[in-house]
Amino acid sequence: MAKEFVKDITSMDEDFAQWYTDVVTKADLIDYSSVRGSMIIRPYGYALWENIKNELDHRIKETGHENVYMPLFIPESLLQKEKDHIEGFAPEVAWVTHGGSEELTERWCVRPTSEVLFCEHYKNIIHSYRDLPKLYNQWANVVRWEKTTRPFLRTLEFLWQEGHTCHATDEEAHDETKRMLEVYADVCENILAIPVIKGQKTEKEKFAGAKFTYTIESLMHDGKALQSGTSHHLGDGFAKAFGIQFTDQAGNLQYVQQTSWGFTTRIIGAMIMVHGDDRGLVMPPKVAPTQVMIVPIAQHKEGVLDFAYELKDRLSKSVRVEIDASDKKPGWKFNEYEMKGIPLRLEVGPKDIEKGQVILARRDTGEKIIVSMEELDEKLNQILDDIQKNIFQKASKHREERTSIASNLDHLKNNLETKPGFVKAMWCGNRECEDKVKEETGATSRCMPFEQEAVSDKCVCCGVTANQMVYWAKAY
C-alpha cells in the first residue's frame, strides 16, 4: 500500500545513489540545466539553504565576525603567491581568458576559495597590533572544475561561507580554529540533527597551504562518511607569502597568524542522506521551510476551508505553516508532503471541526496524534521539538551501529564490506600506511578525533607501535 504512493522513488537499499537523485529532483530541491555540473536550486531547496544560512550567519556574527565581499575573480599571478595553495587548486579552476572580444593579458580564475584575495586586503589594512584580530567572513559562490558531479555533494559551482581571520599569536589563531569548528558542530548537531565526529585531518588530507585542518565528519545512511565543515589554522605561511605584518606592543614587526573555515551547500546533501527514507526527505524541524502542512479533508463541505485558513493564520504566529487547498486528492497530498519531508501534517475535516480537534501525522515516525484545538499551539511546538530530538537520536544510533574497530588491514577491509561505516583503528602516522589503507580498502582517513581511544597499540597497516586513533571510512 505504501509502495503505491512512492512508486517514483527508488528504494534506498536497492540503489542508494538513484534514491538520492530521485529525492533531490522529485522533492523539488533542484533542477538540472545545460550548465554541466551546476544545479538550479529551486524555491524549496533555496528556502532550506536560507534557513541554514541564517542560523550560521547569526552565530558567525555573535562570535564577533563581520561580513565582507571579495571579488569573484583572481588574477593568475595572485593565485600563485602561495605555493602549496596554487598546487592544490590549479587543476580545478575555471579560467577567464576574454573580456568581451578582447583577450586578457593575464588569465583570471574564478575563485575556488578566497584566501589570496583576503591576504592581499589584509596586507593593506593591518599595520599594528591595534588592528588585530581581523575577523572576516563572506557568503559567496565558488567554482571548482569537477569532472563528476552530484547535486549538493559535488558541484562545479557551490554556495558557501568562508571565514578568514588574522591574529597576533599562534595561540589565538588556534583558539579561533577550534571555536569555528565548534560553531559548525553546533549547527550540524543542534539545527540539522546530524551527529558529527570532531577531529584533525592528517597531513595528506589537510587544506592546501594550512598548518593543520580541523574537521567535522558525519555518517550517511549508506555508511559512507561526509566531511561536513572544515576549519584551518593557516599559521604564517600565507602571511609570509603576502607580507602581512604588524608592529606588536613591544614595537617589533611580526607576521600575523591566520585561519580560514568554510561551510557549504554540501551540508544539504548530508541532511538528505542522514535523515531520508524510502518515502523521501525528512526535514529537521529547525530548518524545514514548512514545518506544518495543513491538508483539509472533504474540503468541498461547507466551512472546512474557512476553518483551515483561519487555523493557518492562527498557527503562523508560532510555526512555519502552509496549506494545500488545491483540488488534488488528500492521498496525493499526503504522499507529496511526506516526500518533501515536512515534519508534521495537520488533517482537519468536518468531523474534526465538530469535535474541536485536528489530526497530526509525524513524518519521522508515521504516528498519528489527535489534538484538541485548545492544546494545539503548545502541542505543535512540543512535537516539533520531539521530532528534532528523535531524528538526531536515530542518526546517532545508526552511526553507533555502523562504527566498528579494526586491528589489522584484513579486519578493516572486512568491516567495511560487511558493515559499511566508520572504522576506528590505530595509525603509526606514516603517509605510506595511509596510502596503503586507501589502496587496499577504498577508505580514507576521515580524522584523528579529539576524543582518542586506544583501540589497539599497533598501526592497523604496518603493525608498528602506534598511539594515534583514526576514523577510517569510504567517503563522499
* Footprint on this chain of Zn ion (rule: CB under 5 A): 428, 430, 433, 459, 461-462
Closest CB to a copy of itself among residues 120, 175 = 120
CB of 98 to a copy of itself, least distance (A): 4
367-379 per-residue burial string, b: 16 or more CB within 10 A, e: under 16: eeeebebeebeeb
Asked whether position 75 contacts a copy of itself by CB under 8 A, the answer is: yes
Asked whether position 251 contacts a copy of itself by CB under 8 A, the answer is: no
**Measuring CA to CA, which residue among 455, 442, 468, 339 is closest to residue 407?**
455
Asked whether position 93 contacts a copy of itself by CB under 8 A, the answer is: yes
Residue 459 binds: one of a copy of itself, Zn ion, none (C-beta under 5 to 8 A by kind)? Zn ion
Interacting residue with a copy of itself among 13, 15, 66, 435 (CB under 8 A): 66
Asked whether position 70 contacts a copy of itself by CB under 8 A, the answer is: yes
119 to 178, contacts with a copy of itself by CB under 8 A? 120-121, 124-125, 136, 140-141, 143, 145, 156-157, 159
Interacting residue with a copy of itself among 12, 16, 20, 38 (CB under 8 A): 38
* Cα distances (angstroms) measured from residue 221 to each of 85, 195, 454: 33, 12, 27
Q: Calculate helix-pair angle for 43-62, 266-275, nearest 10 degrees.
A: 110
In Å, how far from its chain's centre is CA 238? 27
Asked whether position 339 contacts a copy of itself by CB under 8 A, the answer is: no
The C-alpha atoms of residue 76 and residue 87 are separated, in whole angstroms, by: 12
Closest CB to a copy of itself among residues 141, 393 = 141
CB of 36 to a copy of itself, least distance (A): 8
Query: What residue has cell string 505504501?
Result: 2
CB of 176 to a copy of itself, least distance (A): 17
Asked whether position 4 contacts a copy of itself by CB under 8 A, the answer is: no
Interacting residue with a copy of itself among 3, 98, 300, 329 (CB under 8 A): 98
Residue 462 binds: one of Zn ion, a copy of itself, none (C-beta under 5 to 8 A by kind)? Zn ion
CB of 434 to a copy of itself, least distance (A): 25
CB of 265 to a copy of itself, least distance (A): 9
Q: DSSP state, 3?
A: H
**Measuring CA to CA, which residue among 93, 213, 235, 115 is closest to residue 163?**
115
Written as nine digits, the cell of 305 is: 476551508
Q: Beta strand pairing status for 468-473 and 422-427?
A: antiparallel
Asked whether position 303 contacts a copy of itself by CB under 8 A, the answer is: no
Stretch that binds a copy of itself, among 36-44, 203-211, 315-323, 445-453 (CB under 8 A): 36-44
Closest CB to a copy of itself among residues 239, 360 = 239
Asked whether position 52 contacts a copy of itself by CB under 8 A, the answer is: no
Asked whether position 73 contacts a copy of itself by CB under 8 A, the answer is: yes
Interacting residue with a copy of itself among 59, 84, 96, 396 (CB under 8 A): 96
Please count the residues of this chain forming the interface with a copy of itself, following the rule CB under 8 A: 54
Q: Beta strand pairing status for 134-143 and 66-67?
A: parallel
Asked whether position 110 contacts a copy of itself by CB under 8 A, the answer is: yes
Closest CB to Zn ion among residues 123, 436 = 436
* Helix ranges (DSSP H) in 316-427: 330-339, 350-355, 376-401, 409-418
CB of 5 to a copy of itself, least distance (A): 21
In the chain the first and final C-alpha atoms are separated, in Å, by 34
Residue 121 binds: one of Zn ion, a copy of itself, none (C-beta under 5 to 8 A by kind)? a copy of itself
Written as nine digits, the cell of 21 is: 537523485
- φ, ψ dihedrals at 459, nearest 5°: -60, 135
- Let me know: does 117 contact 78? Beta carbons within 8 Å: yes
The C-alpha atoms of residue 283 and residue 51 are separated, in whole angstroms, by: 12
Residue 23 binds: one of a copy of itself, Zn ion, none (C-beta under 5 to 8 A by kind)? none
Residue 461 binds: one of a copy of itself, Zn ion, none (C-beta under 5 to 8 A by kind)? Zn ion
Q: Residue 145 class from Cβ within 10 Å (0-12 exposed, 13-18 middle, 19+ buried)?
A: middle
- For 254, residues 6+ apart whose C-beta sits below 8 A from its C-beta are 168, 245, 246, 247, 248
Partners of 218 in the β-ladder: 226
**Measuring CA to CA, which residue among 367, 361, 365 is closest to residue 394?**
365
Stretch that binds a copy of itself, among 94-102, 275-283, 348-356, 416-424 (CB under 8 A): 94-102
Residue 450 binds: one of a copy of itself, Zn ion, none (C-beta under 5 to 8 A by kind)? none
Asked whether position 450 contacts a copy of itself by CB under 8 A, the answer is: no
464-473 per-residue burial string, b: 16 or more CB within 10 A, e: under 16: eebebbbbbb
The residues of the shown chain that bind a copy of itself, judged by CB under 8 A, are 31, 33-35, 38-43, 46-47, 49-50, 66-75, 77-78, 90-101, 107-108, 110, 117, 120-121, 124-125, 136, 140-141, 143, 145, 156-157, 159
